[in-house]
Chain A
């Protein structure tokens, strides 16, 4: 039963009486704010984080260009949000489950997903773990505990609550982090997930990337409140707001959130304030709904540059190393892309597997019928024809090109 205190005067509380401050440690010039306390980050760990941030940036730039050249059907960048995503993933145990929305390739990069693995998914070739079924950027990795992404927004949030509840019962000391944007937080699934997590005490970290926009919709048209963070109070949940371009603040906040989740079995909400520097996706042009000036102001707060300056101040990094790493990453991305786009597509039989654990008789009949049809018109179905007979359809692969 809900127990409440009584009052005898009609005092309304106004929503705008509350605001939640943003936790920040690292300023843009690479120094710590006065009195700010960062995490105890070791050199190797810091460099692992930095490498993942830079690799994500390089991958994103190259793959957007590949999309523009028509080599790739679709792409989404993480640009501007690398510190939020990678700083938080780095504060977890590598066996904790990650459930992402779609702009969190950095977390996967941090965990060690290779450029080959990224590319195989992006090009949907025969080596793609997802068997070429989903659009580019819908990654998944069982061995890296990264749940396969799906397009419907926010559906992964209550799933994270359920997953974390299962982890609690299993007693293995692990938790789940679930990423989502401030737009997705308007979906009903967000409410369902936070309420259930609080009631059932699930070890889950809800990580909101508040980057100011949901496609063209600015956050002032998304909610009237002071962001997403205050909602946690209504669910009686721990909450913190961090500067999402500050990798040290994000890391420290997530480290502490994980402790609350795993040791006390309590969910936590983290709202990372950041900015979506790139377009929403390769299908979007933000110049129609926001100003260059606004973008430039945020470009000056680049999270990668900020971390780079901090690393230099530690004596752990210099311009020469920076250049060498950038060159190496660019070369690797290009090489793996060329490899991946030349690989054949998944076989036509993979169309009917994994719908169920076993192929049903009706589905087998449909596949057999399709194969007869493709054999009759191989030129019209080059990918399918090639998988039936590697000699067929070689010249008509629209994803080809070097």
Chain B
């Protein structure tokens, strides 16, 4: 299997989807001939023509409104929002329209064909508006699916699944990993399941849960903890909505401890939802309070980014504190 980076994996997924189905269209700002500011859509316009891979005017609410209409018509739009920080002008189209299309029409119409791809997350000196992790805003919206991959293999398999999924999917791509994360990826077509978390390492003492670029950070924290004889079970949530409660419950029933980490701010972050659910379903099995290692409740800072981010040291501290409670 060839070793490629996450951008190449995403590009392969788009290429496969467009080759397989003429109804698949890729569009957004700078997505056309240039191939996207991160080059995720490189060469797609050359291969599939300007009608199927094109630049849009610079208007996020228009991009998603257009995608809603295309999907309702029967096309399979893969819309790109250049940075997740700029998805908010389209918030109305996504929350009031995309998410509710099937429900409100009694299934007369749906926009299940659509996928919204957007780079997200910090760690690239992006400051306030090139670093945000807005998944929790959307997690409060029934009707959407939200998927976050952690490496190139996951990115390709989950993106192909998202494009073919019968529901609209928000696909958040951890841009810090675009070129930094490389791995073996099959050249052909394959899919990974949406709505399923993955236990990527089994352990007995504590469950450590995250998604996206945090998985790599968790890995480093767990290495430190295991040197001290703490056995960690590591779970990649992969799908934020609808999330896989059962896999997490099963793990916590075994370990009795849970540490959740995400880059987004603490208050209203998705860790709160997970913590509340696990507390309800695992109350008698919990040996210590569920811990959240997250960004601060501040806008995402530039110079103090390292201090802001929930890094491996902060996660390691939470793991040991959980064990010694």
A149–chain B nearest beta-carbon distance, Å: 9
* CB pair A357 B167 closer than 8 Å: yes
Cβ of B195 within 8 Å of any chain A Cβ, yes or no, is: yes
- CA–CA, A176 and B54, complex, Å: 21
Q: A residues 113-156 with Cβ under 8 Å of B?
A: 128-131, 133-134, 138, 140-142, 147-148, 150, 152, 155
Cβ of A179 within 8 Å of any chain B Cβ, yes or no, is: no
Seed contacts A189-B61, A353-B107; 5 additional CB < 8 Å A-B pairs: A140-B105, A158-B62, A162-B69, A192-B61, A193-B62
Instruction: Name which residue of chain A comes closest to B79, CB basis.
Output: A162
- CA–CA, A374 and B69, complex, Å: 38
* CB pair A162 B61 closer than 8 Å: no
Cβ of B217 within 8 Å of any chain A Cβ, yes or no, is: no
By a CB distance below 8 angstroms, the chain B residues around A97 are 73
By a CB distance below 8 angstroms, the chain B residues around A378 are none
Q: A residues 154-170 with Cβ under 8 Å of B?
A: 155, 157-167, 169-170
Cβ of B143 within 8 Å of any chain A Cβ, yes or no, is: yes
By a CB distance below 8 angstroms, the chain A residues around B52 are 169
Cβ of A288 within 8 Å of any chain B Cβ, yes or no, is: no
- CA–CA, A246 and B105, complex, Å: 33
- CA–CA, A161 and B64, complex, Å: 11
Q: Which residues of A contact B (CB under 8 A)?
A: 97, 99, 128-131, 133-134, 138, 140-142, 147-148, 150, 152, 155, 157-167, 169-170, 176, 188-189, 191-193, 195-196, 199-200, 353-358, 360-363
Instruction: Name which residue of chain A comes closest to B105, CB basis.
Output: A148
Contact with A along B66-103 (1 / 0, CB 8 A): 11111111110100000000000100110011001011
* CB pair A354 B103 closer than 8 Å: yes
Instruction: Name which residue of chain B comes closest to A160, CB basis.
Output: B69
* CB pair B77 A158 closer than 8 Å: no
* CB pair A159 B102 closer than 8 Å: no
A54–chain B nearest beta-carbon distance, Å: 27
- CA–CA, A357 and B142, complex, Å: 12
* CB pair B62 A196 closer than 8 Å: yes
Instruction: Name which residue of chain A comes closest to B59, CB basis.
Output: A192
Q: Which residues of B contact A (CB under 8 A)?
A: 25, 51-52, 54, 56-57, 59, 61-62, 64-75, 77, 89, 92-93, 96-97, 100, 102-110, 112, 142-143, 145, 166-167, 195, 242, 245-246
By a CB distance below 8 angstroms, the chain A residues around B77 are 162
> Which of A129, A152, A158, A353 is B105 in contact with, Cβ under 8 Å?
A129
Instruction: Name which residue of chain B comes closest to A159, CB basis.
Output: B69
* CB pair B72 A159 closer than 8 Å: yes
> Which of B57, B62, B245 is A362 in contact with, Cβ under 8 Å?
B245
Q: List 19 A-B contacts (CB under 8 A).
A: A97-B73, A131-B106, A150-B97, A157-B65, A160-B69, A163-B69, A169-B51, A169-B75, A176-B69, A189-B62, A192-B57, A192-B61, A193-B66, A196-B59, A200-B56, A355-B102, A356-B166, A357-B112, A360-B195
- CA–CA, A142 and B73, complex, Å: 11
* CB pair B56 A196 closer than 8 Å: yes
> Which of A170, A193, A356 is B65 in contact with, Cβ under 8 Å?
A193
By a CB distance below 8 angstroms, the chain A residues around B64 are 158
* CB pair B104 A162 closer than 8 Å: no
> Which of A155, A191, A196, A360 is B92 in contact with, Cβ under 8 Å?
A155
* CB pair B59 A195 closer than 8 Å: yes
* CB pair B167 A147 closer than 8 Å: no
* CB pair A166 B97 closer than 8 Å: no
A144–chain B nearest beta-carbon distance, Å: 10
* CB pair B57 A195 closer than 8 Å: yes
Instruction: Name which residue of chain A comes closest to B77, CB basis.
Output: A162
Q: A129-B106, A196-B57, A360-B195 are in contact. Are A165 and B66 (CB under 8 A)?
A: yes
* CB pair B66 A355 closer than 8 Å: no
B94–chain A nearest beta-carbon distance, Å: 11
A120–chain B nearest beta-carbon distance, Å: 11
By a CB distance below 8 angstroms, the chain A residues around B68 are 155, 158-159, 162
* CB pair A357 B102 closer than 8 Å: yes
Instruction: Name which residue of chain B comes closest to A360, CB basis.
Output: B242
Instruction: Name which residue of chain B comes closest to A162, CB basis.
Output: B69
By a CB distance below 8 angstroms, the chain B residues around A133 are 103-104, 106
- CA–CA, A166 and B102, complex, Å: 19
> Which of A147, A356, A362, A363 is B109 in contact with, Cβ under 8 Å?
A147
By a CB distance below 8 angstroms, the chain B residues around A157 are 65
* CB pair B106 A162 closer than 8 Å: no
Instruction: Name which residue of chain A comes closest to B51, CB basis.
Output: A169
* CB pair A155 B97 closer than 8 Å: yes
Q: Which of A130, A142, A152, A192 counts the most chain B CB atoms within 10 A? A: A192
Q: Which of B62, B67, B102 counts the most chain A CB atoms within 10 A? A: B62
Q: A147-B72, A159-B72 are in contact. Are A152 and B96 (CB under 8 A)?
A: yes
By a CB distance below 8 angstroms, the chain B residues around A357 are 102, 110, 112, 166-167
By a CB distance below 8 angstroms, the chain A residues around B109 are 140, 142, 147-148
